[in-house]
Amino acid sequence: MQKIANYVTVQCGMRQMNPVSIKKVYLPGIASWFEMKLVNNQFRAASKERFVSRLLSGFERLYAKLNPASTQLKLAFGMDLALKSRNVMKTSNSFSVQGRTSGDVSSLRQRVFVAMAVGIFFMLRRSEHLVGLQRKGPSRLTRRLVVFFDAKNKRIPYAEVGVRVKAQKVALNITFSKTDHSGFGRRTYHVRQDDKLRDVCVVSILEEWIKITRDKYKATEDQPLYHIPGLPDLSLETLHKVMTDTVRSLGVEKEGIKSTSHSLRYGGATMLAAAGFPEYLIAHYGGWAENSTALKRYARPSDESLAKVSLFMAEVTMKSPSQHYIQDLILRQQQMSKKGGK
């Protein structure tokens, strides 16, 4: 078995093939050949060995990186779409209320919206707030890792969130990311906005969510953020359906465009890039490495930020900046020549 698995690894790693072809055509074809040679189906079992599947996954990522045109387009799902999703869910019979009353904050509609807001604002991977790694087990983002602070930057105990004082800041402690090689994770936070932005302020959204689900359903600190005792957990399939229906409501019907939980991460990065924020700040929130190629794929500037660039360059042109820099360069060269002469 080990020899056959090694053979699979070498063949798949060396051949420059589309990973889809390897999984769906190449491996099954060789498996059939081995079966005809009476190897007792060992090749098919070996192709599913853990280190073989890891190599295939790595090869698939490398192939997508070297051949970006072959990958499907990714959709950025921002807070404007999250707001629209509430109306989509309200008018759809597919998303029934799971709370005790139609206006209950613990309804499926509100739970989906909270998950969207957190995913967008903190640019989280699905394994960081929805499910465990490789979709195994519950989310490890427990309520204990959502920390609120008052105006004096003092931590608000879980039992007092939303009770006496308004939280001015909320932080997420992500210590279990698949890309966290240091073991320290990342800690990012957002500050509270004015009441006129309450519907899109992640501090207000999370504060209300914690308060009501804690007081009404007795949700404890050690439970996942979106879990409500006595109610079914929020599934990826439900979230994806809401997002897909929201996009479709805009008349977007294009093959190759997918709206998934990872689109929330794209959406947050795209929103910051559109506002002109530097890549290092976007990378800080999303946990990307320096000079990440993944970040560059979807952190694109918006029309508004490009218009600001055009305006800036037009205004600076009237101040003759190039002439200033040329004069400065000549002056520095003269000073260097004098030093060299000495």
Q: What is the mean pLDDT of residues 148-176?
A: 92
State the pLDDT confidence band at 209, using cuts at 50, 70 and 90: very high
| pLDDT (average), residues 77-104 | 69
| Cα–Cα distance for residue pair 84/249, rounded to 1 Å | 9
Q: What mean pLDDT comes out for the span 187-201?
A: 91
Cα dist from 315 to 47, 216, 275, whole Å = 62, 57, 20
In sequence order, what are the beta bridge partners of 169?
Answer: 149, 191
Q: What is the mean pLDDT of the chain?
A: 76
What pLDDT is recorded for position 286?
87
The average pLDDT across 137-156 equals 92
Strand locations in 175-244, DSSP E?
186-191
pLDDT at 1 over 50: no
pLDDT surpassing 80 at residue 178 = no
Question: pLDDT category, 164, cuts 50, 70, 90?
Answer: confident
Dmax over CA atoms of the chain, in Å, equals: 88
DSSP string, 182-199: SSS-EEEEEE---GGGGG
Q: Which two tokens stand for residue 81?
A: 């779409």
**Is residue 130 within 8 Å of 234, Cβ to Cβ?**
yes
Say if CB 24 and CB 11 are below 8 A apart. Answer: no
Residue ranges with strand state E in the chain: 146-149, 155-156, 169-174, 186-191
Whether the pLDDT of residue 336 is over 50: the answer is yes
When pLDDT is averaged across residues 167-184 and rounded to a whole number, the result is 75
Q: Measuring CA to CA, which residue among 133, 145, 121 is closest to residue 179? A: 133
Taking residues 146-166, report their average pLDDT. 94
pLDDT per residue over 107-119, tens digit each?
Answer: 788 899 999 999 9
Structure tokens at 62: 């490398």
The 10 Å Cβ neighbour count of residue 87 is 12
Cα-based torsion angle of the residue sequence 54, 60, 62, 65 in order, rounded to the nearest 10 degrees: -140
Average pLDDT over residues 35-57: 60
The order of strands in the sheet holding 146-149 is 155-156, 146-149, 169-174, 186-191
Is residue 242 pLDDT above 60, yes or no?
Answer: yes
Q: Which of 64-73, 276-285, 289-298 is least confident?
A: 64-73
pTM of the model: 0.70
Of 69 and 194, the structure prediction assigns the larger pLDDT to 194
